[in-house]
Every structure is written in C-alpha cells, then in structure tokens.
Chains A and B, each alone.
Chain A
Amino acid sequence: AQSVTQPDIHITVSEGASLELRCNYSYGATPYLFWYVQSPGQGLQLLLKYFSGDTLVQGIKGFEAEFKRSQSSFNLRKPSVHWSDAAEYFCAVNNAGNMLTFGGGTRLMVKP
C-alpha cells in the first residue's frame, strides 16, 4: 500500500528565512504528488501538484516543490517565509482514481 511520510511534525523558522518541508512516499510507480496548506480553522487549499514532466513545480504563494524519484521525495520549498505562511502543510499522493493518501502534516510556525 502506498504511504506518505512527513518526518517533521513541527518546524519553526524566522520571517524572511528560507523553508523546506520534507515529504517521502512509498509507491511502486510514479505517483501524482500534491502539497496542501491548511490555515487555522480552514479547509485544505491546493498549493501545487506534480503529474509528470519538469520535476520542479511552481505553486501559489511563492511555493515550489521538487520531485526526486531516486529519493522518493517531494519536498516543498519557499525562499523567504512570511508570517502569513504559518499553517499546517500536508503532502499527498495519488495512485489510482481519485483517492489521495495524506501524510501526517507539518505545522509551520513563523517567528517575527
């Protein structure tokens, strides 16, 4: 069965610093990969997705993610974090149909 691991439960960064959130998946073929963000009290919003092609994908709010097949990873990055980026971030993988498997989430806190 496919699985998604987000090794960091909490991450704290200073405003203006760079950010990298880790995501590893286990799946035999190349999956479809997603990053979602959940602001407090809100539903999940799609940040970006990878289906095929260029392994570096750009998303909304200045986020990007890089698919590395050799490492089974799909890490999320942002060059300069803003206080409004404080939220919980979820990596997800799809193998067939419309079913998504989510990681446990990483809660990002931003220091002023």
Chain B
Amino acid sequence: EAQVTQNPRYLITVTGKKLTVTCSQNMNHEYMSWYRQDPGLGLRQIYYSMNVEVTDKGDVPEGYKVSRKEKRNFPLILESPSPNQTSLYFCASSAGTGLFWGYTFGSGTRLTVV
C-alpha cells in the first residue's frame, strides 16, 4: 500500500531534550515536506526537500532541522525543543512532476513539549 509513515504518533517530552520524528514513504517520491498544524492557522510548512541531499526552509523553520540522505526518509529533528513547538506535525510527499497528483500525507505526530 502506498503510504507515508510517521513515527511516533504521540510524543511527550521535556524542554531541551533532543528528539527526532521519522518519516518514510514507499512511493519513490522525489519531494517531501514537513508541516505543523495549529488551531486556526492551518498547516504551515517547516522544511521541504526536492530530492536527496536537497533541502530548503519553508515558512516556519526556526528550531527545526531536517536531512534527506535517502530518497524514502525525511526525518524532522528538534535539537532543543521548546513549549511553542507543541503541535501536530505532518509529513507529506509528492511525485517529482509536481503537485498534479497531490500530496500524500502521513497520519501525523502529536508532540507535547513541557
């Protein structure tokens, strides 16, 4: 089944403790992206990657890092999480031809930073 898999689904952590949220897709998509969803703000893009070793900032990159060493994986790294990073996070991917086929989204990771 074609899908984007995120782990973990739920995570509670303390301020300053480094964490990684994993994202993996099995569709051989070139493009991958991370979004955060906050009430009333919709989804805002954190980082995206056009292909292996090619990443760039989205609208809200501060406090986050990403890497794209393999085509299928695009982990999101919070080096020193803070409470304002408490949010629902989504990973998404799309084919290299652009948005014609639409994004495929993961099921989300709900992160709470205390």
Contacts and interface: CB of A to CB of B under 8 A. Distances in A.
Interface of A: 4, 6, 9, 32, 34, 41-46, 49, 51, 90, 92, 94, 97-100, 102-105
Given A43-B90, A43-B108, A44-B90, A100 B40 contact: no
A103 B43 CA distance: 7
Nearest to B110: A41
Contacts of A46: 102-103
A100 B45 contact: yes
A4 B43 CA distance: 11
Nearest to A48: B102
B33 A98 contact: yes
B102 A49 contact: yes
Given A43-B107, A100-B45, A32 B99 contact: yes
A100 B104 CA distance: 13
**Count class of interface residues, chain B:** 20 to 34
B90 to A, nearest CB: 6
A104 B42 CA distance: 4
Nearest to B45: A99
Given A43-B90, A104-B41, A105-B42, A98 B98 contact: yes
12 contacts: A4-B42, A34-B99, A46-B102, A49-B99, A94-B99, A97-B50, A97-B98, A98-B33, A98-B94, A98-B99, A99-B48, A100-B103
Contacts of A41: 107-108
Contacts of A90: 42-43
Interface string B9-53: 000000000000000000000010101000011111100101000
Nearest to A9: B40
Given A51-B100, A100-B99, A103-B42, A43 B105 contact: yes
Contacts of B50: 97-98
A20 to B, nearest CB: 19
